Chain A
């Protein structure tokens, strides 16, 4: 495994900045494994991130990387892909980055169906700024800005992505690394907007505020509370209450943006009149 780390990471920058037991590192490794499995050329792969603890990932990855501004990773990534559709473009974003300040970019990117691979690290909190609640903090969860419990309801971001037009939507977690790698890999194969929600744990803010135990306890929570879509489909409603459904939730290919755009270019540059 160390050989893969040497190949795909900027090892001179390791160890990374994330807190002990933060599972961001596990998710990043799954992304890299999916890229390796898909056989993507490192020099033709671009990884774009926004701002947040999770978005720091680009600093450690040995690809073409762009660490951009809060909520705007998808806008930068769309520009990169449109300028050079040959590139494989990934976006790493957080629940705050993607669904709060970046919510508008998110729905329109999903609708536009550009060939992007988006991985949202969902730790249910703003980690980097000290534990404020996010649009994906569960109702009742404690945060520095919700000391008596969150009175809002969270987004089901996968359902939102489907409704907005994403052509591939999946959910995984940092415990089931094999599944996580597989769903990212399958998303790469989808030519269009591929979205993966990766459940992460932030033991330092979310975990401590909500008394969820140590880093290993939080990983065991993921193990014990996530069920695959295949299993969920077979269970009666009462048995899946409170469980988080993982796996490929939606796959419905549609015309891809840069391909359609190229057709317009060809039409006018190919000598055809109007």
Chain B
């Protein structure tokens, strides 16, 4: 059991790792390689400062594991 309360945040990207299934969609689609895989293939933030708030990762995560704070509404 898990809840979104277990989120970790590295501005502007909040991640709920317990919901991530390591599908690779977010880091394959991120246009500026802010995201990448950790050793298990789950999402990890590699360069938060490059984030453009485009929300492509948030919109395409099938598991609702990513939330991008700020930027335009999806």
Asked if B28 is an interface residue, CB under 8 A from chain A, the answer is: yes
The winner among A2, A25, A175, A216 for most chain B CB atoms within 10 A is: A2
A217, closest chain B residue (CB) = B28
Q: Of A9, A15, A26, which is within 8 A of B21 by CB?
A: A15
Asked if A219 is an interface residue, CB under 8 A from chain B, the answer is: yes
Count chain A residues whose beta carbon lies closer than 8 angstroms to a beta carbon of B: 31
A-chain residues with CB within 8 Å of residue B67 when the two chains form the complex: 1-2
Asked if A68 is an interface residue, CB under 8 A from chain B, the answer is: no
Count chain B residues whose beta carbon lies closer than 8 angstroms to a beta carbon of A: 27
Q: Of B2, B14, B28, B66, which is within 8 A of A15 by CB?
A: B2
Chain A facing B: main interface SS: helix
B45: shortest Cβ distance to chain A, in Å? 16
A33, closest chain B residue (CB) = B74
| A18 adjacent to B4 (CB under 8 Å) | no
B28: shortest Cβ distance to chain A, in Å? 3
Q: Indicate whether A25 sits within 8 Å of B1 (C-beta atoms), given known contacts A2-B7, A2-B67, A215-B25.
A: no
Residues of A bordering B, CB below 8 Å: 1-2, 5-6, 9, 11-12, 14-16, 18-26, 29, 33, 174-175, 177-178, 203, 214-216, 219-220
| A216 adjacent to B62 (CB under 8 Å) | no
| B21 adjacent to A20 (CB under 8 Å) | yes
| A20 adjacent to B29 (CB under 8 Å) | no
B15: shortest Cβ distance to chain A, in Å? 10
| A25 adjacent to B62 (CB under 8 Å) | yes
| A175 adjacent to B63 (CB under 8 Å) | no
| A214 adjacent to B1 (CB under 8 Å) | no
Please report the C-alpha to C-alpha distance between residue A215 and residue B26 in the assembled complex, in whole angstroms.
Answer: 10
B-chain residues with CB within 8 Å of residue A5 when the two chains form the complex: 4, 64
Q: Indicate whether A177 sits within 8 Å of B60 (C-beta atoms), given known contacts A1-B67, A219-B29.
A: yes
B16: shortest Cβ distance to chain A, in Å? 7
The winner among B21, B62, B74 for most chain A CB atoms within 10 A is: B62
B-chain residues with CB within 8 Å of residue A20 when the two chains form the complex: 21-23
B59: shortest Cβ distance to chain A, in Å? 5
A3: shortest Cβ distance to chain B, in Å? 8
B14, closest chain A residue (CB) = A2
A-chain residues with CB within 8 Å of residue B19 when the two chains form the complex: 14-15
